[in-house]
Amino acid sequence: MVLDSLARLCRVDPEGAAEALGLGVRQGHEVGRNAAIKKAPCAPALSVYSGVLFEALEYSSLPAVARRRADRDIAVASALWGLVRPRDLIPHYRLSGSTSLPGLGTMSRVWHVPVSAAIEEEPGLIIDLRSGMYQALGPVPASCADRAVTVRVLQERDGTRSVVSHHNKSAKGRIARAVLISTARPATPAQFADTLTGCGFSVETGAPPRPGAATGFDVIVAAD
């Protein structure tokens, strides 16, 4: 459904597609890739995705046991696919969680129900490291919020704290890597906080969760 709409838009209306996807004049090749996506070669998801978070995760250098754990436990939020596992085969594409496609509307409208349902089916502790845009694709359902945590990363400089996109993404990649490598297997929000502390992160309890919401933690990183 999303795949068909994206490919059709990029094939029929390249200029409109570039505008909808938020692409600049030098990124026209991304529209062409999307137009031909159904015939594009595929690769494991974590070799396709790039960016600060994935660089900090360093999936390919994980020890074998941690990599198997990642393959089983990690799900990446995708505006095109909903959720994908590290070894799922996907093509390169360009589509943001904030995009609205003709005939479908926003990606949060498309994925809200199926992504939330998939999260609900996950066993054990749910560690939600998604940005707000991708949390909107499918929030953690209230039915499993008591076994879910969210993480906010705050940069501290001269006693003042702020949210900085680069530090937020990098720290979340390092958090995911540390948890995967750790021998700890946290089953509750409190155990997850202890695991992060044991991995060297500065962790503070966020605001008390409202009914039906996941427990939030703040990870404090020093400014460079």
74 burial level (CB within 10 Å; 0-12, 13-18, 19+): buried
Count CB-CB contacts under 10 A for residue 68: 12
What pLDDT is attached to residue 26?
82
User: pTM for the complete prediction?
Assistant: 0.92
Cα dist from 205 to 94, 128, 153, 190, whole Å: 36, 15, 12, 9
Of residues 22 and 210, more confidence is placed in: 22
Please give the DSSP secondary-structure letter assigned to residue 188.
S
Q: What three-state secondary structure class fits 155?
A: strand
User: pLDDT at position 207, please?
Assistant: 72
Report domain extents, the chain.
Answer: 1-40, 42-92+105-222
pLDDT for res 223: 78
Return the pLDDT at 165. Answer: 82
pLDDT per residue as tens digits for the range 110-150:
999 999 999 999 999 999 999 999 999 999 999 999 999 99
Whole-angstrom Cα distance, residue 40 to residue 26?
Answer: 21
> β-pairing, 148-157 with 126-128?
parallel
What's the pLDDT tens digit per position in 164-212?
A: 788 899 999 999 999 999 999 999 999 999 999 999 999 998 777 788 8
CB 97 within 8 A of CB 46: no
For the cut 80, the answer to whether the pLDDT of residue 44 exceeds it is yes
Calculate mean pLDDT across residues 30-47: 97
Q: How confident is the model at residue 108 (pLDDT cuts 50, 70, 90)?
A: very high
- Cβ atoms 175, 108 nearer than 8 A: no
pLDDT score recorded for residue 78: 98
Percentage of the chain modeled with pLDDT above 90: 87
Helix (H, G, I), strand (E, B) or coil at 189: helix
Residue from 202, 203, 196 nearest 179 by CA: 196
* pLDDT tens digit sequence for 61-89: 999 999 999 999 999 999 999 999 999 99
Question: What integer pLDDT is reported at residue 153 of this predicted model?
Answer: 94
Specify the amino acid at residue 212: G
Res 163: pLDDT: 86
Closest to 200 (Cα-Cα) out of 180, 218, 224, 178: 178
